[in-house]
């Protein structure tokens, strides 16, 4: 894998390069005057990259010292819950690119909490304590107001904000009783556009009425879209296909039509409106039928991907993540069981988490066991002092998510059962700092 970074320190035949993706790396280098210059790093090799530029960071060398100009922000202690406030109480400032910054001179203390500012920092490794929040590589030298047209949104995705969001996702993402996803018998609201994922390109149409013609909106098969506030929505056939060749005109190839053709729908994200199906006005279907039977997606258009997807064997897969919580998987008494054969039986069959794009995602015991084993094995390898320090650190679990094999049955019980399920454990890491936790494989 290739990364870009700038040289911060040179010692004999080695230099230290701070990479934006992997932090500090040390590697052999025989060149001259590397400080403040950008390098491309791959495996154990580096190459000077004089043309590299990043609009979010400016780097230079002055009198043998390395400086950088980046955006920075401090925690808003008034808005954080007690446990998170205590954890980040010693943080002066944080940068999305350079992480925790030391405010040795107190210059950042005058900045209003949660305000984003420009700072000039100097490479000067520091440590004020044992935690990741009390250590860093750069010290603040100057503070400036941010230019009005500067994009600063990414700077607000701070560790304390992400941790707070992780703790409150369930209550914020769980469908409210007045939504179609929660209650399929609610009135269909066709105002506004939504973003949803195509989970099936061709699936038996639950609203098919053989008494109607396809031109009236009723066909044996349809595509299925999923959006958190509506759940599963039918995206009907036929689609707009490239115009056919006639005697008077040649076919016109339409890229948009090709991208929305039936066999290419799965795994795509779309914007759409949800409206009453045209067939509803002509059918004899009872008015108390669930929304999936009498509503469809209209004005469908391709959308930017909120999440990257892959299609494997005609099934869509994508990554999702959540914060680790023992109580999600098992009771405290079950946690005390040493024998995993017995402990496995006590793992919850109802474990799940909430995803902003996928709604409820089921996590079954075989995944739960791998997660717990990995974290417990990792903690056993830590020194007592380090184990105590990391005990309260938020841990992120990343899983490969797929559509549940019984997704239609589950949707009838939504939100008590999810349309998606965790297929594979991908990664476990600490939220703050990104330190990886090795996966414990069977």
Read off the pLDDT band of 186 (50, 70, 90).
confident
Owning domain of residue 316: 311-430
Q: pLDDT digits over 95-113, tens only?
A: 999 999 999 999 998 888 7
User: Which pLDDT value is given to residue 212?
Assistant: 63
Residue 248 has pLDDT above 80, yes or no: no
User: Which pLDDT value is given to residue 150?
Assistant: 86
Q: Shortest CA distance to 425 belongs to which of 381, 380, 364?
A: 364
Q: pLDDT digits over 187-240, tens only?
A: 887 678 999 999 999 999 988 776 666 555 567 889 999 999 899 999 987 644
**371 and 295 fall within a common domain:** no
**254 and 325 fall within a common domain:** no
Buried b (16+ CB within 10 A) or exposed e, 12-37: eeebbbbbeeeeebebebeeeebbbb
Euclidean distance between CA atoms 421 and 441, whole angstroms: 20
**332 and 372 fall within a common domain:** yes
174 found inside a domain: no
Residue 369 has pLDDT above 60, yes or no: yes
Which of the two residues, 395 and 280, has the higher pLDDT score? 395
**281 and 316 fall within a common domain:** no
The burial of 211, by beta-carbon neighbours within 10 Å (0-12 exposed, 13-18 middle, 19 or more buried), is given as exposed
414 found inside a domain: yes
Q: pLDDT digits over 199-214, tens only?
A: 999 999 988 776 666 5
**318 and 402 fall within a common domain:** yes
- Which of 268, 283, 306 is the last residue in one of the domains? 306
Helix (H, G, I), strand (E, B) or coil at 368: helix
Which of the two residues, 260 and 271, has the higher pLDDT score? 271
The dihedral built from the CA positions of residue 82, 88, 93 and 96, taken in this order, carries a sign that is: negative
Read off the pLDDT band of 65 (50, 70, 90).
very high
User: Which pLDDT value is given to residue 38?
Assistant: 94
**139 and 212 fall within a common domain:** no
287 found inside a domain: yes
Q: How many domains does the chain have?
A: 4
**364 and 383 fall within a common domain:** yes
341 found inside a domain: yes
Q: What are phi and psi of 115, to 5 degrees?
A: -85, 140
Beta-carbon count within 10 A of 223 CB:
25
172 found inside a domain: no
- Which of 306, 332, 363 is the last residue in one of the domains? 306
Q: Which percentage of the chain shows pLDDT scores above 90?
A: 62
- Which of 306, 337, 359 is the last residue in one of the domains? 306
Beta-carbon count within 10 A of 56 CB:
15
User: Which pLDDT value is given to residue 250?
Assistant: 47
320 found inside a domain: yes
Which parts of 134-213 are beta strand (E)?
135-144, 194-204
**293 and 316 fall within a common domain:** no
User: Which pLDDT value is given to residue 74?
Assistant: 94
Distances from the Cα of 134 to the Cα of 110, 249, 393, angstroms: 20, 71, 14
């Amino acid at each position: 894998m290739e990364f870009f970074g700038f040289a911060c320190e040179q010692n004999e035949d080695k230099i230290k390069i701070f990479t934006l993706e992997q932090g500090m790396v040390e590697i052999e280098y025989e060149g001259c005057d590397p400080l403040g210059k950008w390098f491309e790093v791959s495996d154990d090799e580096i190459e000077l990259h004089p043309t590299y530029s990043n609009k979010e960071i400016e780097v230079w060398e002055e009198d043998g010292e390395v400086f950088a100009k980046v955006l920075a922000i401090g925690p808003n202690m008034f808005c954080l819950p007690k446990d998170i406030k205590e954890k980040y109480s010693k943080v002066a400032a944080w940068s999305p690119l350079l992480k925790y910054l030391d405010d040795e001179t107190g210059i950042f203390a005058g900045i209003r909490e949660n305000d984003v500012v420009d700072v000039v920092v100097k490479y000067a490794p520091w440590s004020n304590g044992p935690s990741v929040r009390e250590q860093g590589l750069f010290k603040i030298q100057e503070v400036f107001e941010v230019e009005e047209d500067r994009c600063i949104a990414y700077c607000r995705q701070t560790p304390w904000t992400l941790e707070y969001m992780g703790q409150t996702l369930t209550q914020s993402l769980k469908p409210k009783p007045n939504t179609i996803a929660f209650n399929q018998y609610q009135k269909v609201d066709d105002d506004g556009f939504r973003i949803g994922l195509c989970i099936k390109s061709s699936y038996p149409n639950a609203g098919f009425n053989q008494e109607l013609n396809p031109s009236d909106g009723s066909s044996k098969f349809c595509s299925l879209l999923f959006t958190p506030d509506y759940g599963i929505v039918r995206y009907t056939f036929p689609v707009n296909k490239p115009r056919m060749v006639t005697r008077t005109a040649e076919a016109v190839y339409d890229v948009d039509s090709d991208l929305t053709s039936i066999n290419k729908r799965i795994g795509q994200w779309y914007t759409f409106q949800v409206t009453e199906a045209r067939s509803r006005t002509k059918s004899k279907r009872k008015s108390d039928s669930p929304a999936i039977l009498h509503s469809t997606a209209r004005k469908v258009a391709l959308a930017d991907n909120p999440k990257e997807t892959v299609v494997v064997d005609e099934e869509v897969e994508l990554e999702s993540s959540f914060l680790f919580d023992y109580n999600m998987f098992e009771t405290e008494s079950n946690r005390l069981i040493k024998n995993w054969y017995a402990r496995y039986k006590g793992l919850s069959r109802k474990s799940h988490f909430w995803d902003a794009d996928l709604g409820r995602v089921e996590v079954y015991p075989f995944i739960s066991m791998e997660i717990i084993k990995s974290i417990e094995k990792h903690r056993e390898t830590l020194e007592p002092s380090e184990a105590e320090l990391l005990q309260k650190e938020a841990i992120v679990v990343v899983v490969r998510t797929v559509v549940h094999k019984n997704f239609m049955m589950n949707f009838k019980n939504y939100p008590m059962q999810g349309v998606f399920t965790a297929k594979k454990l991908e990664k476990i890491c600490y939220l703050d700092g990104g330190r990886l936790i090795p996966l414990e494989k069977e």
